[in-house]
Homo-oligomer: A and B are copies of this chain.
Amino acid sequence: MNQFYFTPGPSQLYFTAEEHIKSALKENVPAISHRGKQFQSIFQDTTQAIRDLFSLSERYHVFFTSSATEIWERSIQNLVEFESCHFVNGAFSKRYASIAENLGRKTTVIQAREGEVVNIESLLIPESCELIAMTMNETSTGASHAIDDIRKVREGFPNQLLSLDVVSCAPCLDIDYSLVDLAYLSVQKCFGLPAGLGVWIVNDRCLNKSEALLNKGLSIGSYHALPELLIKAQKNQTPETPNVLGIYLLGKVAQDMLKKGVDMIRRETNYKAAALYNTFENSEILNPFVKYKVNRSKTTVVAETSIPNQVIIDKMSEKGLILGSGYGKFKDQHIRIANFPTHSKEQIEYLSDELMKIAGE
């Protein structure tokens, strides 16, 4: 039986990904030199497609890492001398703070309740904080900031670098990236690509900060320090031999998304998310985990289950529909459903119908 993955990353490949992998093999993409013209052209095409998809101005640079986890580490190394501030709305935003602590930085952690996000109206952040880390969409619980929270944080804290985790929501949310200094994602979520590639968007403020730390004699890492990434990116290259196939595939899928239209993708995302939450509301055994509607993720749709979640996961699996279990302490109590661009309206409707059948038994 065909299986279709609704797990929140890695997830089902984007529906064009397999064809692009086959084209890449025909074109010998995995064999080309990362110092040659063919790679430079791939690098340029991919970064341009990301620029277009995210409407980035010239002040922003697009760099590649191996994961979003790596970007947590690199951003602290390059942008924080003493202290960072982390809005924690789940396990992944918490891990960013832990990484800053591993690297010897002081952290201010502002913790939201489970299934909620930090209240932006009443923030107290020490002026000594150099970077504010905000996780737009918590993949662990589906607790998502309202889009307008970004503007409020930016206006409230103009002196801090504002870091936005868009790992499991970009490009499905209409975010104004000019409000943030850095943003990052990994390709196995909404882009529906094999894991092993992170995308790091930074502006000149970030580059200036990393150079300032370097000029103070501090270590900002080595091959993936921002100045190193920039020098190579200006030649459409990377400091190390990168995941060439991953960069090629990201460019192709980003171009496919541009052709389809990012507005269309966002409208479909909204429609499908509404269908899933509607199912939860009408189900006897499912309930949206995130209480406030404004904070319910569009792309990582999470329900509490009143029966053991494994029963639901197993029944859906029998239909070829692979759902995610809960994360961490919610492992046995939640189901998590990815609503990424590769998950079609028809598939989400089919999944909703099947979920309702369990509910009705």
Question: Interface of A with B (CB < 8 Å)?
Answer: 3, 5, 7, 9-13, 17-18, 21, 25, 28, 30-34, 65-67, 69-70, 72-73, 98-99, 102-104, 186, 188, 193-197, 219, 221-223, 225, 239-246, 322, 324
Contacts and interface: CB of A to CB of B under 8 A. Distances in A.
A19 to B, nearest CB: 11
Contacts of A245: 194-196
A223 B98 CA distance: 10
Nearest to A327: B35
A194 B5 CA distance: 24
Contact of A5 (B7, B31, B67, B244): B31
Contacts of A11: 31
B69 A244 contact: no
A10 B32 contact: yes
Contacts of A225: 102
Given A10-B32, A10-B33, A243 B99 contact: no
Contacts of A12: 28, 31
A229 B11 CA distance: 24
A222 B102 contact: yes
15 contacts: A5-B28, A10-B32, A10-B33, A10-B34, A12-B28, A69-B239, A73-B223, A102-B222, A103-B221, A103-B222, A194-B245, A196-B196, A196-B197, A196-B243, A196-B246
Contacts of A5: 28, 31-32
Nearest to A65: B66
A219 B102 contact: yes
B66 A196 contact: yes
Given A34-B195, A196-B242, 13 more contacts: A3-B28, A10-B32, A10-B34, A12-B31, A13-B30, A33-B324, A65-B66, A66-B196, A69-B239, A70-B223, A99-B222, A102-B222, A195-B242
